Amino acid sequence: MIEKEAVAIVTGAGSGIGRAAAIAFARAGARVAVIDIDHDAALETAARIRDTEAIALRVDVTVEEQVVEAFDTVLGRWGRIDHLFNNAGIRGGTDEAHRMSSVEFRRVMDLNVAGAFLCQREALKAMYEAQRGTIVNMASIMGFSTGPGAAHYTASKHAVIGLTKAAAFEAAPRGVRVNAVAPGTIETPMNVALAGNEKAMRDRYTPAYPIGRLGRPREVAEAVLWLAGSASSFVTGHTLVLDGGYLLR
Ligand SMILES: NC(=O)c1ccc[n+]([C@@H]2O[C@H](COP(=O)([O-])OP(=O)(O)OC[C@H]3O[C@@H](n4cnc5c(N)ncnc54)[C@H](O)[C@@H]3O)[C@@H](O)[C@H]2O)c1
């Protein structure tokens, strides 16, 4: 359960899973800060939130000053930060490890790991003050497995699981829980763009899923809300896999 009037920050909330989670937090009664590097997309998500308050903030989560300012803005406006869904991330290019440029490797690590670290850090500071709060980080099945052309993405998502465990260990005595979700392929604009169109996306990825279909943003959002809310009050340092059986193969 999410407390009414709780304040949730969702990064990468202008699209896909982040947008679905921002809307789900609002439906559960939370006020939501919609953070995205794409301001128009963030505004669109905020406009879809009608039941509670929402603000859209243009933030590049890899830029420290912007992250600090955004968390200050949320605290200034609502006085509390109860939940962070640390979701912004990219897949990056698909060159194999022996051809991957260091620039591309660092670009993915910078957003998926350092960006998540910065947002997690600012959330922890506010939550330690209040002696309460929850963080859900965005990992992936690539935090457990791998695939072709994914050295950067695989390394980054393994790192997110480590980031989650380290923070959870320190945060537990302070009343703060930190967990992660690890989805398989979800039907989002990112994957439609990668494959070309929706049919191509399903044809390409579905055979790897014993459940016979891909995941939906709403299904990830439900898991995020469970990990963020009081129903999971004894769960911390955990990475919840949502993969339709992908890792069973
Ligand atoms: N879609 C999947 O199949 C899948 C599976 C497992 C994990 N994930 C992870 O879920 C997260 C969201 O994926 P999605 O498919 O919803 O992606 P998406 O591309 O639909 O949305 C990502 C959002 O992040 C924003 N963003 C990009 N760089 C940013 C930055 N520097 N600062 C702030 N915002 C930034 C984008 O503008 C976009 O709105 C990612 O971390 C991804 O690795 C996705």
pLDDT of res. 51: 84
156 Cβ closer than 6 Å to some ligand 1 atom: no
Is residue 141 within 8 A of residue 184, CB to CB? The reply is yes
41 Cβ closer than 6 Å to some ligand 1 atom: yes
Per-residue tokens: 107: 């670009």
Give the domain ranges of the chain: 7-242
pLDDT of res. 228: 99
Active-site residue 128, yes or no? Answer: no
Mean pLDDT in order along the chain per 10 residues (249 residues) = 96 98 98 98 97 97 99 98 98 97 98 99 98 99 97 98 99 99 95 93 97 98 98 99 98
DSSP string, 84-116: EEE----------TTT--HHHHHHHHIIIIIIH
176 Cβ closer than 6 Å to some ligand 1 atom: no
Q: Does the domain at residues 7-242 carry the CATH identifier 3.90.1860.10?
A: no
pLDDT of res. 190: 84
Q: How far apart are CA 238 and CA 3, in angstroms?
A: 22
Closest Cα to residue 26, out of 47, 1, 8, 44? 8
Q: What angle do CA 78, 28, 74 make, to 5 degrees?
A: 20
pLDDT of res. 153: 98
Closest ligand 1 atom to Cα of 41: 39
